[in-house]
Amino acid sequence: MSTALVLQMHRLGDLILSFPLLHYLQRHTACSKTWVVAEPAFFQPLLPVAPSATFFPAAQGEALAASQSFALGINLSSRPASARILGGMQAGQRLGLSEQDGSLHVYGFWQLYRQALTQNNRGNPFHWSDLNVLDLAPDADIHVIGHTLPRPAGTGRVGLVLGASEAAKHPSSHFWARLARRLAASGHMPLFLGGEAEKALGKETARLSGLPQADLCGKLPLDALVGVMRRLDLCITPDTGPMHLASWLGVPVLNLSLGPVHARETGPSSPGQWVLRAAMSCTGCWQCRHGRLGCHAAFSASAVARVAEAVMRHGDGLLHQPPALPAGLELFRTERNDLGLHQLRPVGARRSCVRGLLEDFWQAFFLALYQPSRLPLLEPALAALAASPLPVSRLMEGLHAICAACARHVSGKAPLAQDFWRSHPPMLRLLAGFCQMWLENAQADPHRQASLLHDLHTLVTQLKRQ
């Protein structure tokens, strides 16, 4: 019996984002068993709702990997221990970061792409849950990974997930209190959700809102949180682990995407969910570089309450009856495109956004670089860019410059500088970072370096003809 071993030793949200991969492995590969190494505090309460797999504690990962040969090993963690486990195990195929004899190597085109996003994710059009699957899915078609469509419970309860991994990623207690009072005045029952880390935030929000009975922060174990979420009509939440849990369970989600997060990358991955974010050019950053969080200022409790009411009242009909929004906010609906990939559909009037078109272009570009049969995707993406204010001529010049620099590196004439990716304009850094990572990853393999150069040159040349 062939077995796949998946290493996912990060937080709750990362584990849930690996569930579509587990679903895919179980149903659409030759592996008869799937084993997962993860943190018990996260996987044990989720066993009743997780895809079919056998979970093991992270502390047993090394011994487990040495216990037998595996058909497939996938490392979705950035921990040094997980890289050593992948490097030391016997596996017919490896994907992800691996350490062997003190040297690091990334296996898999899309796993390498994801590694290259560190501090360089501006313009990234791929959701992380999709990137987990793309190295395995034939022809980039991942319709089959399965997602639960949202459905309100009809209880009048609205969950407010108060916290996130960073303070910059969630609203203040004053915001939550104002929102809770507005929802309660409309006849809804707000519930403040969070773990031990949110106890102080929950207590303060309850005091400010005058709703002490709403505070459940630190009072619910994870398995009880699953039960509470399943009885919600809506979950209003920043980008955090409980948001991914709600989306996986089929709870309607209104994601307040603020701070250093990118909704197209780590927002709710299931189709039919809602994303509200600031209409700012810097949204989706990896780390805020401004003195104040302007994206927070765009959100008001009254505007979020109106959107929440509209979502609960109209559901899918909101696409045809969009709510009135302040100029500083944008509303999106999560969808799956023709390839099954996650995307954001604007709801209502929207300011002209070159960045969204550039993201669509990069999605088509990298799909074609990975699978040349996807080249037809590039023509409409490039045409849309050409009709926008973005100077396409500068984009094409930059693509040729990256090709030329890679050629000089491969020939040994001029190695890439350490800051190669940073030396390019923001609209080109996604490709520059990927190429730099690829060439460094394949530095002992001239054939792989030349292969990337050939594919990249062919693609850029074909683009020039369009």
Q: Tell me whether residue 357 is in a domain.
A: no
pLDDT at residue 421, as a whole number = 94
Helix (H, G, I), strand (E, B) or coil at 259: coil
pLDDT tens digits for 362-399?
999 999 999 999 999 999 999 999 998 888 999 999 99
> Is residue 293 predicted with pLDDT exceeding 90?
no
Average of per-residue pLDDT across 14-42? 94
Q: Is the dihedral of CA 87, 89, 92, 93 positive or negative?
A: negative
Q: Tell me whether residue 342 is in a domain.
A: yes
Q: Are residues 295 and 368 in the same domain?
A: no
Q: DSSP label at 77?
A: -
pLDDT-derived band at 71 (thresholds 50, 70, 90) equals very high
pLDDT at residue 141, as a whole number = 79
Q: Are residues 204 and 332 in the same domain?
A: yes
pLDDT at residue 417, as a whole number = 92
> Is residue 294 predicted with pLDDT exceeding 80?
no
Q: Are residues 59 and 112 in the same domain?
A: yes
Residue after which a domain boundary falls, among 115, 145, 175: 145
Q: Quick one: how far is CA 406 from the chain centroid?
A: 29
pLDDT-derived band at 350 (thresholds 50, 70, 90) equals low
DSSP string, 134-196: TTTSGGG--GGG--PPP---SS-EEEEE---SSGGGS--HHHHHHHHHHHHHTT-EEEEE--G
Q: Tell me whether residue 271 is in a domain.
A: yes
Q: Tell me whether residue 445 is in a domain.
A: yes
209-to-164, 173, 199, 200 alpha-carbon distances in Å:
20, 9, 15, 14
Q: Residues 417, 420, 425, CA angle at the centre, nearest 5°?
A: 150
> Is residue 3 predicted with pLDDT exceeding 70?
yes
Count CA within 13 A, CB hemisphere, residue 242. 32
pLDDT tens digits for 228-261?
999 999 999 999 999 999 999 999 999 999 999 9
Share of the chain residues as helix, strand and coil, in percent rounded to the nearest 5: 50, 15, 35
> Is residue 351 predicted with pLDDT exceeding 70?
no
pLDDT at residue 289, as a whole number = 77
Direct distance between the N- and C-terminal alpha carbons of the chain, in angstroms, rounded to an integer: 49
pLDDT at residue 30, as a whole number = 86
Task: Give the chain's domain count.
Answer: 3
Q: Are residues 170 and 319 in the same domain?
A: yes
pLDDT at residue 422, as a whole number = 93
Instruction: Using the CB atoms, write b or e for 58-92: b if 16+ within 10 Å.
Output: beebbebbeeeebbbbbbbbeeebbbbbbbbbebe
pLDDT at residue 359, as a whole number = 94
Residue after which a domain boundary falls, among 351, 374, 401: 351
Strand bridging mode 189-193 / 234-237: unpaired
Q: Are residues 87 and 178 in the same domain?
A: no
* Cα 359 from Cα 357, distance rounded (Å): 5
Helix (H, G, I), strand (E, B) or coil at 275: strand
Q: Are residues 223 and 290 in the same domain?
A: yes
Would you state the structure tokens that stand for residue 243, as one six-digit string?
């948001």
pLDDT tens digits for 168-191?
999 999 999 999 999 999 999 999
Q: Residues 280, 282, 286, CA angle at the centre, nearest 5°?
A: 140
The residue segments making up the domain with residue 429 are 362-465
Q: Tell me whether residue 196 is in a domain.
A: yes
Q: Tell me whether residue 152 is in a domain.
A: no
Q: Tell me whether residue 356 is in a domain.
A: no
Q: Are residues 276 and 377 in the same domain?
A: no
Average of per-residue pLDDT across 455-463? 91
pLDDT at residue 46, as a whole number = 97
Q: Are residues 305 and 414 in the same domain?
A: no
> Is residue 286 predicted with pLDDT exceeding 80?
no
Total residues belonging to the chain: 466
Q: Among candidates 307, 229, 302, 300, which has minimal Cα distance to 274?
A: 307
**Is 235 in contact with 252 (CB distance < 8 Å)?**
yes
Instruction: Give every CB contact of residue 9 below 8 A, 6+ residues apart in sequence.
Output: 37, 38, 39, 58, 61, 77, 79, 81, 82
Helix (H) or strand (E) holding 451: helix 446-465
> Is residue 324 predicted with pLDDT exceeding 80?
yes
> Is residue 297 predicted with pLDDT exceeding 90?
no
Residue after which a domain boundary falls, among 114, 145, 176: 145
> Is residue 352 predicted with pLDDT exceeding 80?
no
The CATH code of the domain that includes 309 is: 3.40.50.2000
Provide, rounded to the nearest whole percent, the portion of the chain with pLDDT above 90. 80
* Cα 230 from Cα 178, distance rounded (Å): 25
Q: Are residues 301 and 321 in the same domain?
A: yes
Q: Tell me whether residue 124 is in a domain.
A: yes
Average of per-residue pLDDT across 54-67? 96
Averaged pLDDT score across all residues of the chain: 93
pLDDT tens digits for 34-43?
999 999 999 9
Count CA within 13 A, CB hemisphere, residue 404. 6
pLDDT tens digits for 416-458?
999 999 999 999 999 999 999 999 998 878 889 989 999 999 9
Q: Are residues 98 and 219 in the same domain?
A: no
Q: Are residues 170 and 126 in the same domain?
A: no
Q: Are residues 369 and 346 in the same domain?
A: no
